[in-house]
Structure 1
Amino acid sequence: MRTMYHQLLVLGALASLCSAQNLTSVLAANNSTLSTLTSLVAARPALLATLGSAKNITILAPTNDAFSKLNTTGLSDADITAVLTYHVLSGTYPSSAFTNNSQFLPSLLVSSPYTSLSGGQVVDAKLADSKATLTTGLAQDSTVTTADVKFDGGVIHVIDTVLTIPASVSTTALDLNLTSLYGALNATSLASPVDSLTNLTIFAPNNQAFANIANLVSTLSTEQLVSILSYHVVNGTVGYSTDLKNGSSLATLGGGDVHVTLENGNVYVNSAKVLIPNILVANGVVHVIDNVLNPNNTSANPSATSAAYSGASTATDGAVPFTSGVSATTTVATAAATTTSGASASSTHSTGGAAIQTGAMGVAALFAAGALMVDL
């Protein structure tokens, strides 16, 4: 108790210098729920000073229970500071601003190596089952439990789960059981370059999409596979679902364009349907699709009866290409590999059964992407 009292005094003394006494008062008044957050902020004077002087911000405040679910083993002080910074949004967003459609709100997390997005990392904010919800890295959801706690710098929303900083493309692919994509990127030595790019959009075929062309994979040269994978990457443009407009085209890393169609509430890229939209990654966004795109067959017709790859079929033994020796890292179900549900550009975000990291491991996973040996 004495330690907590001292921390609150530190908050009060420092915050008064920063003209943020009301924030301190709010934290103190909610000590039974937010004492862990109070302790973590008090231990970081630079962050405290930022919060104390900031105006027009939104603080997403995890409860004590939310923090108790985290395994912080192996995290540095910089890592924990980054996690806390990700919970501060640039702008004041009352609960009335949340709608059924995703909004991608900028946070104060702008530094490398935690993000390489121009303008900083974002959170996906929307209403889910009429509840204000924030979706962050590894498709993890946090729900607002107490909304619109005002202080002189903006507003606080109390949330039930610590936000997960979006991870690299490789880590995210493993967590969502996109193991074919992960294996293919490694087979072509594209994994590291893709993880290092800034401001990108990836249309990520699920495992079933790769399985559907299994008979052709063995005939592809490395150069051909690089060309195909590069056609799934849009470099220099972060295309969230709200940016995917009907009839628009996006230039890919491979040089050709992909074409967006909105039809019957679904989003299509060429003739591939977006199954899971808006998976945030450290350097952009990933949309899971149901077919492997073909840079030599760029039909924008979602109703096309012919496959993107002529003569393609599954393997006779049911093998999924590029997955030998690769295992998903998640601890829960991984239906993202085979889901067939659609996703609207304006609909409430849903992982559609995608793998979600458990709360006890979510943050730690962001900083511990294990290296795997891939046997192709």
Structure 2
Amino acid sequence: MHTKTLFTASLLAVSTINAQSFLEVVQKTPELSLFSAIVASLNDTFTDLLKSVGPDDASRTILVPNDQAIQSFMVNNNIKSPADIPAEKVIPFLSYHVLLNNVSSAQFSSPGGAVVETKLQDEQYALLANNSGQVVYGTQKVTEEKKAAAIEIKSGVEGGAVQIVKQDVTFNQGLIHVVDGFLTLPTNCSKTIQHQGAERLVTYIKRLGLLNTLDSYPGATCFAPSDAAIERALPVLMNMTDAQLIDAIKFHTLLEAYYTPDLKDGQVIETSLAGASITVNIVDGDYYFNGVLAKTTNDIARNGVAYLLDGVCVLSCDADFKSFAS
């Protein structure tokens, strides 16, 4: 009888929680008071944003910055009150925090992590195939500071990743994960790789007139040799013609966005250089492309994804490059 009573009480508790709307849950969570104030200042704008995801019973996941994150954002932008944040500026941020699927912490923690489409569809920040919304990448990492596994969410590279500090809070249309920062709106591929440490590659791209092509193609993958990798390869690069350099850059570009969950060990992918492909190898969680280690992975860009490489990927026929590959 006691067990049955507890079970019934648990069901009632779950039903009560699931019956709560997103706003009701946020308003009852102390560490989300500033987010609640922002939403209130927008009147029905955020509610309309949630409705635009789909029917009332559609599953969605909301990443909600906690008070500390919002206070930091306000200080950095010289904003005194949540009510002072202009709607036209905050809506892209909020759209990026609305995930179009019900994604639990367990899914983010699964091997390889998870890439999830968001409601951010403004072409200024999302230029992907089939007019898809921009994505985030979530995975579990062990941090040196906490010495424990934490779920990290990657967005645009300029702001760094955020961490989930409270997970799997339910509401009547999905899940809430509380995060310790705002996601960063993505920038073009060229700015993304430059920020990550491939400034010299961007210099080549600009000189060869490829910048607009790289930044305007919807849903690309850019393999970007680091500045140190370019330095090591200079003895060869300096003797290449512009046509050869253009082919080399094409060889480092894929015409689809491949995030790590899309990749398998031994996979061969065609590059944008006609007739040339690149081979993926995964060793102890590290990703190699034609034998070159990726120093960073899943760097979210406006028009796709980038990987910073520790060397220059080489065609099998380019023997001169092999000593500079890594």
Q: 1:169 to 1:261 in 2, by over 3 A?
A: closer
Report whether the alignment pairs 1:242 with 2:255: no
> Displacement, 1:161?
0.9
Q: Provide the residue aligned with 2:32 in structure 1.
A: 34
Cα distance in 2 for residues equivalent to 1:263 and 1:155:
32
Structure 1 length normalisation: TM-score? 0.69
2:37 aligns to what SS in structure 1?
A: helix
Q: Provide the residue aligned with 2:67 in structure 1.
A: 64
Q: Provide the residue aligned with 2:101 in structure 1.
A: 91
Q: Provide the residue aligned with 1:23 in structure 2.
A: 22
> Displacement, 1:62?
0.1
Q: Deviation per CA, 1:136-159, whole angstroms, max 9, x where unpaired?
A: 110722111111221111111111
> Displacement, 1:73?
7.0
Cα distance in 2 for residues equivalent to 1:196 and 1:245:
27
Q: 1:35 to 1:297 in 2, by over 3 A?
A: farther
8 Å contact 1:60–1:156 — kept in the other structure? Answer: yes
1:308 aligns to what SS in structure 2?
A: helix
Segment drifting more, 241-250 vs 157-166 = 241-250
Q: 1:21 to 1:247 in 2, by over 3 A?
A: closer
Cα distance in 2 for residues equivalent to 1:199 and 1:309:
29
Cα distance in 1 for residues equivalent to 2:107 and 2:23:
25
Structure 2 letter corresponding to 1:28: Q
Q: Provide the residue aligned with 2:92 in structure 1.
A: 82
> Displacement, 1:297?
2.8
Q: Which stretches in structure 2 are left out of the alignment for 5+ residues?
A: 1-18, 80-84, 143-148
Alignment identity in percent?
Answer: 25
Segment drifting more, 147-156 vs 219-228 = 219-228
1:164 aligns to what SS in structure 2?
A: coil
> Displacement, 1:282?
1.0
Segment drifting more, 74-83 vs 196-205 = 74-83
Cα distance in 2 for residues equivalent to 1:277 and 1:44:
39
Q: 1:29 to 1:185 in 2, by over 3 A?
A: same
Q: 1:73 to 1:173 in 2, by over 3 A?
A: farther
Q: Provide the residue aligned with 1:134 in structure 2.
A: 153
8 Å contact 1:231–1:256 — kept in the other structure? Answer: no
8 Å contact 1:260–1:267 — kept in the other structure? Answer: no
> Displacement, 1:126?
1.5
The one of 174, 179, 197 aligned to 1:154: 174
1:98 aligns to what SS in structure 2?
A: helix
Q: Provide the residue aligned with 2:145 in structure 1.
A: none
| 1:339-350 paired onto structure 2 within 5 Å | none
Q: How many pairs were matched up? A: 285
Report whether the alignment pairs 1:125 with 2:138: yes
> Displacement, 1:76?
6.8
Q: Provide the residue aligned with 2:14 in structure 1.
A: none
Q: Provide the residue aligned with 1:145 in structure 2.
A: 165
> Displacement, 1:191?
1.6
Structure 2 letter corresponding to 1:46: T
Cα distance in 1 for residues equivalent to 2:152 and 2:59:
20
1:101 aligns to what SS in structure 2?
A: coil
Cα distance in 1 for residues equivalent to 2:254 and 2:69:
35
Structure 1 letter corresponding to 2:24: S
Q: Provide the residue aligned with 2:187 in structure 1.
A: 167
Structure 2 letter corresponding to 1:58: T
Structure 2 letter corresponding to 1:110: Q
Cα distance in 1 for residues equivalent to 2:266 and 2:20:
51
Structure 2 letter corresponding to 1:255: A
Structure 2 letter corresponding to 1:89: L
Report whether the alignment pairs 1:270 with 2:290: yes
Q: Deviation per CA, 1:154-205, whole angstroms, max 9, x where unpaired?
A: 1111110111122211221222121111111111121222111111111111
Structure 2 length normalisation: TM-score? 0.79
> Displacement, 1:263?
5.3
Structure 2 letter corresponding to 1:78: E
1:125 aligns to what SS in structure 2?
A: strand
Structure 2 letter corresponding to 1:135: K
8 Å contact 2:271–2:278 — kept in the other structure? Answer: no
Q: Provide the residue aligned with 1:281 in structure 2.
A: 301
Choose between structure 1 and 2 for higher RCO, CA contacts under 8 A separated by at least 6 residues: 1
> Displacement, 1:309?
5.1
> Displacement, 1:261?
3.6
1:213 aligns to what SS in structure 2?
A: helix
The one of 93, 107, 110 aligned to 2:118: 107
Cα distance in 2 for residues equivalent to 1:78 and 1:195:
24
Q: Provide the residue aligned with 1:374 in structure 2.
A: none
> Displacement, 1:275?
2.4
Q: Deviation per CA, 1:86-113, whole angstroms, max 9, x where unpaired?
A: 1011111222333242210111112312
> Displacement, 1:21?
6.0
Cα distance in 2 for residues equivalent to 1:246 and 1:257:
18
8 Å contact 2:193–2:199 — kept in the other structure? Answer: yes
8 Å contact 1:249–1:258 — kept in the other structure? Answer: yes
Cα distance in 1 for residues equivalent to 2:178 and 2:163:
8
Q: Deviation per CA, 1:272-327, whole angstroms, max 9, x where unpaired?
A: 222222111111111122222334637xxxxxxx66357x69xxxxxxxxxxxxxx
